[in-house]
Amino acid sequence: MNQETIVAIATPQGKSALGIIRLSGLNALKTAARFLQIDPQTLKPRTAILTRASLKGEFIDEVIALYFAQAASPTGEDLIEITSHGSPFILSSLLKAALESGARMATPGEFTRRAFLNGKMDLSQAEAVCDLIRAENQASHRAALLQVSGGISKRLNQIKTPLLEMLAHIEACLDHPEEELPPPPENEFLLSLHQTHQAITNFASTYERGKKILSGPRICIAGLPNSGKSSLLNALLGRERAIVSEIPGTTRDTIEESLPLGEITPLLIDTAGIREQASDVVEQEGIRRTQEALENSDLTLIVIDGSRSISLEEEKTLLSIANAAKKENKPAIFALNKSDLPRRIADDWEGISVSALLGEGIENLKKTLSERLSQETLGHEILITHFRHHQALTEAAKEILLAENSIRDNVKKWEERAAFHLRQCLYFLGEITGDNAGEEVLNSIFSKFCVGK
Ligand SMILES: Nc1nc2c(ncn2[C@@H]2O[C@H](COP(=O)(O)OP(=O)(O)O)[C@@H](O)[C@H]2O)c(=O)[nH]1
Ligand SMILES: [Mg+2]
């Protein structure tokens, strides 16, 4: 157990009804007893008690102290949570009292880091705690919950089991050549390796969806200039975010805003629009950025001005946007804007009828967007959401192929080579759960946490 007692304010800055500071460490109780009227000898775990906090005789606040004993505490060491009135002055006074009583300031994520180091959770669970705090919608909340409860290591254990069996078999043969054990069954191994490779790559491929859940899917609003893209962005957001004007080519930069849609929170991206003849270099750059935004989006919302007819040239531009999305298997949704004006566009143009000006059809459009995106992202299976995990799985899969090759090529002493690659594979899988995580890896992970978690 770490000798140092750490302390941090666990609630956000600013005035609130309640505020919490937490202390964790071998001497957390003794430290707290220096500024609270509690008796470490008789304090019962998991029982809230009302007490008084003071610093050098100066009364700070009446507080509730909650003690978690080492064995069953979230950090795996003595932990005490002190709830006071949520005044920034009271909280900083309590913090000061704790520091003067022998605690030191916790670094970001240090409580969770200690939970990991004390075996309370594996590294993937610790990372998921951070995601859980950040989750802004049901999809990211669910993805984080599945990981917090150990979903990743469960899945990895299933993958590891046949690898460990193979390794044990090979190692027994290598270690005791004199015992004439039956030789490793090559075909059985090949089959098992093949299945494991499948399982690892399948798991890794969930990252495509996982990262969208974490960062929110991207909706690119595209179309011809003046069709009402910026107006539609504003109408969807319910506020005037982008500049709207009757002058074509007004939007030059791309504008990005989150749009909460129930279970998901996609990012809406307003673009310059695409036309063949850009008026100047700035608009040209805007069009280039539009292309980029289109490529990086998960759904394209194509806005068309339904109150005027579309030239052949323009039709080509619009269809090329839709085809680009289709080619990458991304949904493209047409919105026929300016429904408040008489329709002049040819009858064969279909889409969701909206008027960005009057706000008509906006709820319907939101519903369609949310349905199309939710189909893509929601589910109950455990997903990979971190690049770090994806990378480790990719490396692990490579090792499986190398192990397979050494058997298939029938090289001399293939057992030794295969065993080496199996061990490497297990090493990479272990990186995800932090079995062999060094200081550097831990620092980079926990530095992203907030202080007090
Ligand atoms: N009548 C009507 N005018 C609209 C509507 N949406 C946008 N406009 C007008 O169309 C022009 C271009 O709008 P804007 O949003 O800047 O288009 P963008 O270039 O595609 O971003 C502006 O004069 C808007 O007021 C609509 O639903 N109905
Ligand atoms: Mg615009």
Instruction: Break the chain into its structural domains and give their ranges.
Output: 6-120, 129-206+385-434, 216-376
* CA–CA distances in Å: residue 281 to residues 262, 278, 425: 40, 8, 51
Q: What is the pLDDT of residue 279?
A: 63
* CA–CA distances in Å: residue 395 to residues 130, 388, 430, 434: 25, 11, 12, 15
- Atom 6 in ligand 1: which residue has the minimum CA distance? 228
- Atom 13 in ligand 1: which residue has the minimum CA distance? 228
- Return d(Cα 449, Cα 79) in angstroms, integer: 19
CATH architecture assigned to 216-376: 3-Layer(aba) Sandwich (3.40)
Whether pLDDT at 428 is above 70? yes
Neighbours of 94 (CB within 10 A): 26
Query: In the structure, what pLDDT confidence band is assigned to residue 185 with cuts at 50, 70 and 90?
Result: confident
Residue-level length of the chain = 453
In the block, residue with structure tokens 């050098």: 56
Class of the CATH domain delimited by 6-120: alpha beta
Percentage of the chain surpassing pLDDT 90? 68
Over residues 404-429, mean pLDDT: 91
Q: What is the pLDDT of residue 252?
A: 65
Q: Which ligand is nearest to the CA of 358?
A: 1
Distance 254 CA to ligand 1 centre (A): 17
Query: In the structure, what pLDDT confidence band is assigned to residue 280 with cuts at 50, 70 and 90?
Result: low
**Tens of pLDDT along 319-346?**
988 998 888 888 999 999 999 999 999 9
Q: What is the pLDDT of residue 349?
A: 94
Query: In the structure, what pLDDT confidence band is assigned to residue 128 with cuts at 50, 70 and 90?
Result: very high
Q: What is the pLDDT of residue 390?
A: 97
Contact 333, 348 (CB under 8 A): no
Using DSSP's 3-state secondary structure scheme, residue 265 falls into coil
Average confidence score pLDDT of the chain: 90
Over residues 272-297, mean pLDDT: 71
Distance 246 CA to ligand 1 centre (A): 7
Contact 332, 299 (CB under 8 A): yes
Q: What is the pLDDT of residue 58?
A: 95
- Let me know if the fold of 6-120 is the same as that of 216-376: no
Distance 405 CA to ligand 2 centre (A): 55
- Using the atom order of ligand 1, give the atom closest to the CA of residue 270: 21
Task: Spell out the residues 6+ positions from residue 52 whose beta carbon is closer than 8 angstroms to its own.
Answer: 36, 37, 59, 61, 62, 63
Whether pLDDT at 123 is above 70? yes
- Atom 26 in ligand 1: which residue has the minimum CA distance? 338
- Return d(Cα 250, Cα 257) in angstroms, integer: 18
Using DSSP's 3-state secondary structure scheme, residue 170 falls into helix
Query: In the structure, what pLDDT confidence band is assigned to residue 247 with cuts at 50, 70 and 90?
Result: confident
- Which residues line the pocket of ligand 1, CB cutoff 6 A? 225-231, 244-246, 250-251, 273, 337-338, 340-341, 355-357
CATH architecture assigned to 129-206+385-434: Up-down Bundle (1.20)
Q: What is the pLDDT of residue 173?
A: 85
- Return d(Cα 42, Cα 47) in angstroms, integer: 11
Distance 364 CA to ligand 1 centre (A): 19
Beta strands in 254-348 (DSSP E): 255-258, 267-270, 299-305, 332-337
Contact 166, 189 (CB under 8 A): yes
Return the closest-CA partner of residue 416 out of 406, 428, 424.
Answer: 406
